[in-house]
Amino acid sequence: MSDIIVRACLKFIQIILKPVALFFFRTYYRKIDVPRPISKCHDLLLTPGHTLAEKIRNREVTSEKIVGLFIERIKQIQPILNCVVQERFDQAIEEARQVDQIMSNYLIDDKYSKSSAPLLGVPFSCKESIAAKGMPNSSGLVSRKNYTAQEDSAVVKYMQEAGAILICVTNTSECCMWIESSNYITGTTRNPYNPSRIVGGSSGGEACIISACGSVWGIGSDIGGSIRIPSLFNGIYGHKPTLDLVPNDFQFPSFTGIQNKMLSIGPMCRYASDLSHLFKIMCGP
Q: Which residues contact 284 (CB under 8 A, 6 or more apart)?
A: 154, 158, 246, 247
Say yes or no to pLDDT of 92 above 90.
yes
Listed in order, strand segments (DSSP E) in the chain are 84-87, 123-127, 165-170, 182-183, 187-188, 190-191, 194-198, 217-222, 237-238, 264-269
Q: How many CB atoms lie within 10 A of CB 122?
A: 32
Give the tens place of pLDDT for each residue, 197-226. Answer: 899 999 999 999 999 999 999 999 999 999
Say yes or no to pLDDT of 79 above 90.
yes
- Give the model's confidence band at 10: pLDDT under 50 very low, under 70 low, under 90 confident, else very high: confident
CB of 137 within 8 A of CB of 147?
yes
Query: One-letter amino acid identity for 187?
Result: G
The average pLDDT across 63-82 equals 97
Say yes or no to pLDDT of 2 above 90.
no
- Give the model's confidence band at 33: pLDDT under 50 very low, under 70 low, under 90 confident, else very high: low
Q: Which residue, 148, 82, 88, 80, is CA-closest to 124?
A: 88
CB of 29 within 8 A of CB of 194?
no
Q: So what's the pLDDT on residue 214?
A: 98
Instruction: Compute CA distances 266 → 10, 31, 223, whole Å.
Output: 42, 37, 11
Q: So what's the pLDDT on residue 31?
A: 58
Q: So what's the pLDDT on residue 141?
A: 96
Residues noted as catalytic: 127, 202, 226
pTM of whole model > 0.85?
A: yes
CATH architecture of the domain 41-283 equals: Alpha-Beta Complex (3.90)
Query: One-letter amino acid identity for 125?
Result: S
**Cα 54 to Cα 139: distance, rounded to the nearest angstrom:** 34
